[in-house]
Amino acid sequence: MTDRRQEILDAAMAIADEHGLDAVTMRAVANRVGVTPMALYPHVGDKDGLLDGMVDRLLGLLVAEAPDADQELTWQQRLGALARTMRTLARRHPGASMLLFARPSVTPDAVRVVDSIFQLLLAAGVPPADVPRIERLTSTFVVGYAVSEAGGRFGRGSLDVRAHRGQLPDGVLPGHQALAEWLAREVDWDAEFDADLADLALLIETKANRD
Amino acid sequence: MTDRRQEILDAAMAIADEHGLDAVTMRAVANRVGVTPMALYPHVGDKDGLLDGMVDRLLGLLVAEAPDADQELTWQQRLGALARTMRTLARRHPGASMLLFARPSVTPDAVRVVDSIFQLLLAAGVPPADVPRIERLTSTFVVGYAVSEAGGRFGRGSLDVRAHRGQLPDGVLPGHQALAEWLAREVDWDAEFDADLADLALLIETKANRD
DNA sequence: ACCTGAACACCGTTCAAGT
DNA sequence: ACCTGAACACCGTTCAAGT
């Protein structure tokens, strides 16, 4: 179904990727599709509908790349694949990714992602009563990390303070002072994400062993 | 310092709280302050500067309500207080909160919050080399949860599916089907957040016991 | 230094009209 | 049903001018 709506959403995604979310304008999208701004309205409703469509498109990409549950994968491997795909998508589409926290999505693809995590948590042995909560904990962290990294919430800040190391008056930012040596190191973001996923898996196992 | 800038940022926050982030307009803010739109520019730079100022204001509120490190509190209590305050602020200022993931902040108050977490992780016995990573993990989850809840990313979706329980074709959304009974229950969000914080504290303790 | 008022380019959206 | 073109109300921002 390469219908018009899909074409419009892809154009919006491309503009967001290239020029940022602010550049996603009814006029700009229409222009890219080769049509008049008003021609978009039957397909996306309005500007909000367009943005909602973008997050749905993003979740569609996540579902498309997620491994099938039928495959012979451990729940850890399925969690890892889903999380790493989310991170990759956020890096590829940072503008659209930020919308994940701004525009709650209840589309079929959104529910499908949640269901994948439900399945994997059940396979891990998490008691059914705890699964919905652990799903929210898991997805919140994974999406939050991916968006933080892609949106620049990490990286600066600590690094900035590192520059003033030793120049800070005593007593302020004692944490940063104590960690100056480690804050000066370059961060391996791939390794950090893997370590976080390992910790998350550990936490999930703890929940599973509870019964 | 009840200077003009603060007054402007408070007006912007109030408008966001009352009418949503889209209603935060240079003209609307100026109007509320009782001044011409152009009078804002010397104080906030431009529209982006205004939004940056809003997230800084939010972090300022977080710092103001965070417990002093001098107090005789365990690191768990300090983590809990910081996290609960963040959640309360996100509920009170959902519009401004969403900006936390969209606009990375490196203001003094932002660094101060990070430093508080650094201190509490060091007090917990987390090896210094792991502290920056665990800080990002912790803040990402806490902020992500608070924003998700305040922005409506939770709540709908699963609840929606619950309505179609039994009407789903076999084989689709097996996770939701298996959990139908638990998804039908009302969620106690306060209790869930407390449980998440307990799990987070558990994970931190695991890191601390590693040496 | 801080503020005003008019102006400009641009935005989302309505509406009447075309096919 | 889908698209166009003109129009409207509104937006962020520039600029020249006032104090």
Nearest amino-acid residue to C14, taking CA and C1': A38
CA distances B9 to A16, B24, B96, Å, are 28, 10, 11
Q: Fill in the amino acid letter for A112.
A: R
Q: Which bases of chain C are under 7 A from a protein CB atom?
A: 1-6, 10-16
Closest CA to A139 of A64, A65, A88, A82: A82
Chain A residues 43-82 with CB within 8 Å of chain B: 69
Q: Give A155-173 pLDDT, tens digit per residue.
A: 755 445 444 544 556 578 9
Nearest by CB to B106, from A102, A157, A196: name it: A157
Asked whether strand C has any atom less than 7 Å from the CB of A41, the reply is yes
Q: Give percent of chain A with pLDDT exceeding 90.
A: 82
- Contact criterion met (CB below 8 Å) for B95 and B20: yes
Mean pLDDT of B157-186: 73
More confident position, A24 or B159: A24
**CA nearest neighbour of B95 among B1, B44, B29, B160:** B29
pLDDT value for B201: 98
Q: What is the pLDDT of residue A54?
A: 97
Quote the pLDDT of residue A2. Answer: 62
Kindly tell me if the per-residue pLDDT of B106 is higher than 50: yes
**Mean residue pLDDT across chain A:** 91
Q: What's the rounded mean pLDDT across residues A32-41?
A: 96
Task: Name the band, by pLDDT with cuts 50, 70 and 90, for residue A47.
Answer: very high
Dump the DSSP string for A54-101.
HHHHHHHHHHHHSPPTTSS--HHHHHHHHHHHHHHHHHH-HHHHHHHH
Predicted local distance difference test score (pLDDT) of residue A168: 56
pLDDT for the residue A172: 84
For the record, the structure tokens of A58 come out as: 């993003």
pTM: 0.93
Quote the percentage of chain B above a pLDDT of 90: 82
Sign of CA dihedral B176, B178, B180, B182: negative
What dihedral angle (degrees, nearest 10) is formed by the CA atoms of B48, B49, B51, B54? 170
Q: For residue range B77-97, list pLDDT tens digits in order.
A: 999 999 999 999 999 999 999
pLDDT at A34 over 80: yes
Residues 6+ apart with CB under 8 A from B119: A174, A175, B69
Mind listing the pLDDT tens digit for each residue in B10-39?
Answer: 999 999 999 999 999 999 999 999 999 999
Partners of residue B182 in chain A, C-beta under 8 Å: 128-129, 131-132
Residues 43-82 of A with CB under 7 A from strand C: 46-48
Beta strands in chain B (DSSP E): none
Segment holding A49, helix H or strand E? helix A47-65
Q: Rounded to a whole number, what is the distance in angstroms from the first to the last CA of chain B?
A: 47
- Within window 19-38 on B, which residues have Cβ closer than 7 Å to strand D? 24-28, 37-38
How many angstroms separate the CA of residue B31 from the nearest CA in chain A? 24
Residue B42, CB, strand C, below 7 Å: yes
pLDDT at B71: 73
Residues with Cβ < 8 Å from A26, sequence gap 6 or more?
A37, A40, A47, A50
- What does the pLDDT read at residue A166? 47
CA distance B209 to B211: 6
> Is the pLDDT at B166 greater than 50, yes or no?
no
The helix (H) or strand (E) run that includes residue B99 is: helix B94-102
Cβ <8 Å between A173 and B141: no
Q: How far is the CA of A20 from the C1' of D18 (A)?
A: 39
Nearest CB partner across the interface for A199, out of B174, B196, B203:
B203
**What pLDDT does A67 receive?**
75
Q: How confident is the model at residue B156 (pLDDT cuts 50, 70, 90)?
A: low
Q: What share of chain B is helix, strand, coil (3-state, %, to 5)?
A: 75, 0, 25
Yes or no: say if A141 and B141 are a contact pair by the CB < 8 Å rule.
yes
Smallest Cα–C1' distance to nucleotide D3: which residue has it? Answer: A39
Average pLDDT value for residue range A35-61 = 96
Is the pLDDT at A123 greater than 90? The verdict is yes
Selecting from A106, A118, A152 the residue whose C-beta is nearest the C-beta of B156 gives A106
Cα B125 from Cα B64, distance rounded (Å): 26
Q: Is the pLDDT of residue B198 over 80?
A: yes
**Within a 10 A sphere around the Cβ of B71, how many other Cβ atoms?**
9
Q: How many CA atoms lie within 13 A of A33 on its CB side?
A: 25
Give A195's contacts in chain B (Cβ within 8 Å). 133
